[in-house]
Structure 1
Amino acid sequence: MSVLPSSLPRTAPKTLTELYDCAIIGGGVSGLTLALQLAQAGRTVVLFEKETYPFHRVCGEYISMENYDFLCRIGVPLAEMNLPKMTRFTVSSPTGEALHHPLDIGGLGITRYELDQLLARLAVQHGATIQEGTKVTDVVFANEQLTITVAGGATYRARTACGAWGKHANLDSKLKRSFLESSRQGRQFVAVKYHLQVPDFPRDLVEMHNFKDGYCGLSPVPGGLTNCSYISDVRNLRAHGNSVAEMERQVLMQNPLLRPYLQEAQRAGKPPIVISQITFRERSTVETHVLLLGDAAGTIAPLAGNGMSMGMNASFLLYGLLLDYLDGRISRPELEQQYTQAWRRLLLLRITAGRLIHQFFGRPALTTLAIRFLKRIPGLTNQVLKLTHGKSY
C-alpha cells in the first residue's frame, strides 16, 4: 500500500519581516524530520528545498530499523506501507568471492520519491512552511539572528538556521568551509542511482558488490523494484569518456556476481541520477552559527550503516537542543558547543568506521583478503556491522 500523497499542500510563507524560530536549508530526510519535530512542538519553521516534491535522489533507500520507533512517533505509518524488510547481507569482492551473513538489526526499503514527499506533507500539516523550488544563495548572522537570502532576492529571518543541503552545495563555498580546499587535492567520487526490475530479487536481502575503485549496493524497494546505487572513483568515469554506460560495461561488470543484474535486468522509471565531486573529508558541525546535519556535517560513506538513518538520528539530537535554546535554557554558544560534542559522541565512530571500510572496498586484493578473513570469523563480521549501525531512539 502506498501512502504517497497526490500533491504537497501549499503553505503561504509568513511576511518576510516575521522572525521564524528556525530556518532549515535542504529538504532531505534530516532536514524534513527536523522541521516536522519542530512544527509538532509548535515552533515556527521554514524549510527551503531547491527541487519540487516528489523527486528521486541518489540514495541507497535503506533505513536501518534503529529509526523505526522514531519515524512512527513523528507520524510515518510504516506498519501500513508493506515495505520490504532486509535481514540478510551479501558482500562480494571484484573477483566474485562472496560473504553471506545475517543482518541482525535489519532495515526497511523505501524510495526517497515516496518518503521525502510524505515527510514534507506531514511537516506542512503541522504548520511548517516549506518553500519548494527555492534555492538559498546566502546566510548571514547579525544581531543574534540569521538572514537567509534566496534566488530572486527575497530574504527570511530566523532565530536559528540549520544546514541539511547534502554532500555539496554552493553554500559550502559561500561559508568558506575548510574542507573544500583539501577536497580539491584528494580523491573524488561519483555516485549513480537507478531502479531495476529484478523479478526474483529477495525482499529480505541487501547485496554489496565491489569493483575496481568502487562498490555497488542492491536492495529491494516497494513496487517490486530493486534499488541499484553505486559509488566509483571519478577516474573510472573519466577513463571511459564520462559515459556511465561504458564505465558499467568495462568496470562494474568485471564482478561476475554484479554482471547479471546490469546486463539482464531492465531499468525502471527515469534514467540514472548522477552526482559528482563527492569527497569523504572531515567536516564541521557548525559554520558561522549555521548548525549542520546529515551529509553537510560529515559526508557519510555508504558503508557507514546508511546516511538516511544517521541524518534522522542527528535531527532528533539537534531538535532537543534547539528547544533548549529557543526556550532560553542554554545560550547560543552552549547550543553550538553541546551539539558539536553530542554529534561526535553519537555519529563520529560510525562515520569513521565507514570511511575506514571504504578504504578497503574497491581494492580487489584487499577486499578479497578481507572477505576470506571475515568468512572464517563470523563474530568479527557481527562486530563490524555493529560499528556501522546504531541503537533505537
Structure 2
Amino acid sequence: MKKIAIIGGGLAGLVSAVRLSRMNFEVLLFEKRQYPFHKVCGEYLSNEVLDFMNREGLLPTNYDFPQINKFQISALAGQSLTMPLDLGGFGISRFVLDDFLANNARESGAQIIENTSISEVAFIENQFELKSISGEVYHADLVIGAYGKNGVLDKKLERNHLNYEAPFIGVKHHIKTDFPRDLVALHNFEGGYCGIVAIENDQFNLCYLGRREDLKRAGSVEEMEAQVLKVNPFLKSIFENAEFVHEKPVVINAFSFRPKKLIENHILMSGDTAGLITPLCGNGMAMAIHSAKILSDTIAEHASSEQWDRQGLEAAYTARWNATFKRRLWVGRKTQSFFGSKWSSKAALLVMQRSPWLAKKIMKNTHGKPF
C-alpha cells in the first residue's frame, strides 16, 4: 500500500485525507494543533462545492447552516451597494467543519497525528523523509503540503514568495448581533476590508484583512479596530453593538497574496499553500476543497503501478490546477487593488452602482463553477 503524508489539517488536507483513505492509500496527516480549534477564515462557503460535499458526505447534517443569497459592500465613508448572489453559499465555522472532517478522515482509515509540526522534508531515492520539530522521523511515498498561508516549511524550501513583503494580517471574531442571516457583507476600511456572515448557533463570523503596519502603529488589535475599522460607519455600528463570544480574537500575522509554486521538491501543494485567493474575488474555503478533489483524483490516476508516475502526476496536477485556479487568483489580485482605501473603494463602488453588468461580473468571479 502506498503511503501518503499530508502536512496540515485544514480543508485541503482533510478533504484529501478522507478521499485518499477511501481510495485505499495509507494516509498520515500531521496537524500542529488539536481538533477542534478556531482559525482565521471568512467562514462563507460558496455553493460551488455543495453538490460535491453532499455526494462525498463531507458536511455535518446536525446543523441548520444559514443560506446566503445577498451581498453587500461598503466604502469607507459608508456608501454601500447590495445585490443578489446568483450562486450564493452558506455560513459554517471552521471549528465545526474541520472537526467533522477530521473525524470523517479517521473513520475512513487516515491516521491523524495532532500537536505535531513537520519542520523538514527530504526527497531521497524516490522516497520522502519527514522530520518533526520534536525529532520524530516518518517516511512516505508522496507528500502533500496543505499547511496554509505560511509555515515553517516555506523557509526550509526557500519558496519564492518569501522574498517579498508579507504586509497583511487576518483577524477573526465570533459575535452575536442583529444582522440579516441571508446576507454576506464586505466593509472597506483604510488598508483592508472586513466581512460579516452568519454561521451556526445564531452566531456571526466577523473577519477582516488588515495591514501589519496599522497594527504595529496602534499597538493592539482593539486599538487598531478603534482607530482604523470604526471609521466605516457600518463597522462602527457592528463593533459597538455586538456581543463578542470569545474573549480574544484569532489572529494570523504576516502573509501576502503573491503567486506561489505549485510543486516544491516534489511536494504537491494544495489549498492556501498552493495559492492564496483574495477575499474580494474568491472563496478560499471552496478553492481549498476543490484543489483537494483535483489532487486526490490525479494521484489516484497515476498510482496504478508499483512505481509512481511522478513526472506524469506532477504535470497533470499542474495543468488541472492552472486551468481551474490560475485566472481566478489573478483576477483576485487585480480586483483587490481597487479596494481598501478611501478614494479607490468609493470610486469602485460608484462604478459598480452605475454598471450593474460590471457589478454582476465581479460577483460572478467570487464564485467558481459547481463541480
Identity %: 39
Unpaired stretches in structure 2, ≥5 consecutive residues:
none
Counterpart selection for 2:54 from 72, 86, 92: 72
Q: CA separation of 1:282/1:77 partners in 2, compared to 1, >3 Å: closer, same or farther?
A: closer
What is the aligned counterpart of 2:243 among 258, 263, 266?
Answer: 266
Residue in structure 2 matched with residue 113 of structure 1 by the alignment: 95
How far apart, in 1, do the equivalents of 2:18 and 2:159 lie? 28
Structure 1 partner of 2:168 = 189
Are the aligned partners of 1:20 and 1:46 in contact in 2 as well (CA < 8 Å)? no
Of 357, 361, 368, which residue of structure 2 is paired with 1:379? 357
**How many angstroms apart in 1 are the aligned matches of 2:308 and 2:33?**
35
User: Tell me, what secondary structure is at the counterpart of 1:102?
Assistant: strand
RMSD, matched Cα: 1.4
Question: How far apart, CA to CA, are the structure 2 residues paired with 1:336 and 1:205?
Answer: 40
Deviation at 1:80, TM superposition (A): 4.5
Relative to structure 2, which stretch is displaced further, 71-80 or 334-343?
A: 71-80
> How do 1:53-202 and structure 2 match up within 5 A?
53-78=35-60, 80-181=62-163, 183=164, 186=165, 188-198=167-177, 200-202=178-180
Output one character per residue of 1:7-51: Cα deviation in whole Å (capped at 9) or x when no partner: xxxxxxxxxxxx752110000001000010011112111100000
| Alignment partner of 2:188 out of 201, 207, 210 | 210
What is the TM-score with the length of structure 2 in the denominator?
0.97
Question: What does the per-residue CA deviation read over 1:186-208, in whole Å, with 9 as the maximum and x for residues that have no partner?
Answer: 3511110011110x211100010
1:151 is displaced (CA, Å) by 2.5
**Partner amino acid for 1:366?**
S
Superimposed CA distance per residue, residues 210-243 of structure 1 (whole angstroms, 9 cap, x where no aligned partner): 00011000000011111000011111111212x1
Residue 323 of structure 2 corresponds to 345
Q: Does 1:29 align with 2:29?
A: no
Match of 2:342 among 364, 379, 382: 364
Gaps of 5+ in 1: 1-18
Question: Is contact 2:59–2:97 with CA below 8 Å preserved after alignment?
Answer: no
**Structure 1 runs (4+) greater than 6 angstroms displaced:** none
Equivalenced residues, count: 370
* Residue 39 of structure 1: aligned partner: 21
Deviates more, 1:110-119 or 1:144-153: 144-153
- Tell me, yes or no, if the aligned pair for 2:299 and 2:313 is still in contact at 8 Å: yes
Q: C-alpha offsets along residues 60-82 of structure 1, whole Å, 9 cap, x if unaligned?
A: 01110011111112213455421
| 2:257 corresponds to | 280
In 2, Cα distance between the equivalents of 1:143 and 1:154? Answer: 20
